[in-house]
Chain A
Amino acid sequence: MNKLVKLFITSISAITLALVSFSSSFAKVEGDYIVLGSAISLTGKYSSNGVHTQNGYNMAVDRINKMGGVEVQGKKYKFEIIYYDDESNPKRAAQLAERLIKQDGVHYMLGPYSSGLTKAIAPVTEKYKIPMVEANGASRSLFTKGYKYLFAVLSPANQYLEVAIDLAVEKNGGKGVRIAQAFEQDAFSQDVRLGILDAAKRTGSEIIIDDKLPKELNDMAATLAKVKATKPDVLVVSGHTKGALTAIRQISEMKVDVPMLAMTHCDAAKLSKQHGKKSEYALCASQWHKNLSYKDKFFGSGKKYDKDFKKEFGYAPPYQSAESSAALLVFKDAFERANSFDRDAVRDALKTTEMQTFYGNIKFGPGGQNTAKPMILFQVRCKGDDCENKVVAPTKWASDKFYHPIPKWSERS
């Protein structure tokens, strides 16, 4: 009896397995749909940005489908995305990537949120030769591993604040500046740091404070006291949203006067909203801003994207959403140029991408990073208690003049 039961269970599981593998071989394109897969952080510590990413993807899928979809070999297809929640956990993300590929038969992937999770997924997509277009993993190490199926629409992390150093040198009459920097000890922030080191070398600048903030640190008083004592020309801080909020809080409380303050994650931290006037004059690196003049036929301009996104989701799109939308435009373009659903053909098409989207120009370098789009810097400027982010660099896109040096705290109201 026992043996019979065992035999029964074995055969059932065998049939199920067979069915699963059978169905999966058709799953990449089902009927009129091209199925994409994505593991995304809908819960856990990245959930806010995970949702921004998902909204960006969904917005682009709707728009592309509404405007005729993707044309491959004379037939129109629509995009569809299978999502799983990776709980902001890299291990889970890698498992889900396997599941998307092996069980759901997904042949084309969209990236998760954050460099860490992209790093967890990339080896899996690489192993199964699945092209992945990602929009939220900026860490430089993603692009030095020789991945062949990974494409990122965003600028790599080391470029985030290089522009700021160039700007400081320019303001200093072309002479090198004295830089104080504080970076969290995580892959992304350390990449930003490497970018600064390069820029310092290039411009003959000197780094006088180089603090590495522990991940659990929420107090920067010591770093800022050093800054006060050494009076650098530029202070650079990168430590995700926590770092940005802590820095502004303590700079304003300790009345630290620096001529220039450059940071990352200001918009994710809602700096101008949470800290108001205290955050004025902070320079922030950003992948995208609605005022840039890039255009495409799906979303029109950045301003139009901003408007449509607000209408659909009820909040202004952060750059995480914009770059995620751009990822789908890249996929659509690649499918049409490949004119095939063959993974390698699609990958080759992705490799030769050269296009403009509302988010920026996209052209992939040898490591898969986007080399065609510069980072932008905006500066927080306030009118009364109303603070806004104004683009100040590069000059081509600038809507406002860069305010330099930052007035002393004693002169600020």
Chain B
Amino acid sequence: MDFLIFKAPMLMVQASLDGILLGILFALIAYGMALQWGVMNIINIAQGDLVILGGYIAYTMYLAGIHPAWGVIVSPIIMYFVGVLLYKLVINKVVDRDLFISILATFGIAIVFQQLMNFVFGADVVVAQSEYGTTMLFDNSVTLPNSKIFSAFISVLYAVALVVYMKKSRLGRAIRATAQNARAAKILGVDTEKVYAATFGINAALCGIAGALISITLTLHPYVGLPYTVRSFMIVIVAGLGNLPAVAISGMGLGLFEEFADYILGTEFRIGAVFMLLVFILVYRRFKLSKKREYLK
């Protein structure tokens, strides 16, 4: 087997940049998931469907003649309220229950969202055009769509803004306090109910941003949400909860790993390779944990 990627060093650059740019976008979705998982102990299966809904908001704007990039401002605002509403309707009933119940509930939400989007927007695959053009590097041998650069830039911008918000603002501190110990936070006067609603809203807003970016970089379809859920789930598993730099690095790392797996193992093993990596990491972690336990003994 000859590995094309080792023959052409420019492909290595291309693969790395593609992987990193896409990884940053996935890290944004994963960060939302880590946030509400950490705070509310809920694994949100509907994460990907929130992303797609956000994308459809941008696509609707595009159809109305507005540039879809404005979606990165409009979509999170709408999605925040969708998230809060979702919390009030369903999530608050499962928030302190068994993890399994929350998975079931959000799985149900995912199905409802898919069908609703199918009903409203139709089952066709759609794309919004940004017309951002292409950046060419190294004498045209490496090409980067500006839409991908734009989406990575926006993702970083929002992520940094969120970190600052979490550190400095009252609500941010309340969210972090609730994540650490909900009962203690409650005793000290934090309205945890409000914190939960806001957290879920913020998560949905992050999904909205990612969705708007996906509408101009990839494609939209009512039923493609699940791969985004799985991808962000993996990133969170690798990175751990409540650690933004780790989420960002693990997002980019997975993006890179996937691109290189594509070249070396073949496209058909691309997703499989990521799952293999996940299994490896889980086993490794267990191994490390058990060592620690022995030490404690």
Is B115 part of the binding interface, using a Cβ–Cβ cutoff of 8 Å?
A: yes
Chain A 250-262 interface mask (CB, 8 Å, partner B; 1/0): 1001110000000
Residues of chain B contacted by A218 (CB below 8 angstroms): 218-219, 224, 227
Q: Please state if B15 and A216 are interface contacts (CB–CB under 8 Å).
A: no
Q: Please state if A274 and B15 are interface contacts (CB–CB under 8 Å).
A: no
Find the A residue at minimum CB distance from B132.
Answer: A253
Find the A residue at minimum CB distance from B145.
Answer: A253
Interface size class of A (residues with CB under 8 A): 35 or more
Q: Please state if B123 and A254 are interface contacts (CB–CB under 8 Å).
A: no
Q: Please state if B259 and A222 are interface contacts (CB–CB under 8 Å).
A: yes
* For the complex of A and B, 10 pairs with smallest distance between CB atoms: A253-B145, A212-B268, A216-B227, A211-B267, A222-B262, A241-B125, A254-B143, A47-B123, A221-B18, A48-B123
Is B223 part of the binding interface, using a Cβ–Cβ cutoff of 8 Å?
A: yes
9-residue interface stretch from A120-128, A198-206, A224-232: A224-232
Q: Please state if A245 and B127 are interface contacts (CB–CB under 8 Å).
A: yes
Q: Please state if A214 and B4 are interface contacts (CB–CB under 8 Å).
A: no
A residues in contact (CB < 8 Å) with B: 43-49, 182, 185, 211-214, 216-219, 221-223, 225-226, 228-230, 240-242, 245-246, 249-250, 253-255, 268-270, 274-276
Find the B residue at minimum CB distance from A229.
Answer: B8
Q: Please state if A242 and B145 are interface contacts (CB–CB under 8 Å).
A: no
Q: Please state if B134 and A255 are interface contacts (CB–CB under 8 Å).
A: yes
Given contacts A242-B219, A250-B145, contact A229 B4 (CB under 8 A): yes
CA distance A219 to B145 in the complex (A): 12
A211, A241, A253 — which one has the most chain B CB atoms within 10 A of its CB? A253
Given contacts A213-B267, A216-B226, A274-B127, contact A47 B134 (CB under 8 A): no
B123-146 with Cβ < 8 A to chain A: 123-127, 129, 134, 136, 140-141, 143, 145
B152-208 with Cβ < 8 A to chain A: none
B115, B127, B259 — which one has the most chain A CB atoms within 10 A of its CB? B127
Is B222 part of the binding interface, using a Cβ–Cβ cutoff of 8 Å?
A: yes
CA distance A43 to B122 in the complex (A): 9
Residues of chain B contacted by A241 (CB below 8 angstroms): 124-125
Q: Please state if A46 and B271 are interface contacts (CB–CB under 8 Å).
A: no
CB distance from B113 to the nearest CB of A (A): 14
Given contacts A218-B219, A222-B267, A246-B218, contact A47 B118 (CB under 8 A): yes
CA distance A229 to B143 in the complex (A): 12
Q: Please state if B125 and A245 are interface contacts (CB–CB under 8 Å).
A: yes
B136, B143, B263 — which one has the most chain A CB atoms within 10 A of its CB? B143
Q: Please state if A246 and B219 are interface contacts (CB–CB under 8 Å).
A: yes
The contact of A245 among B219, B263, B267, B268, by CB within 8 Å, is B219
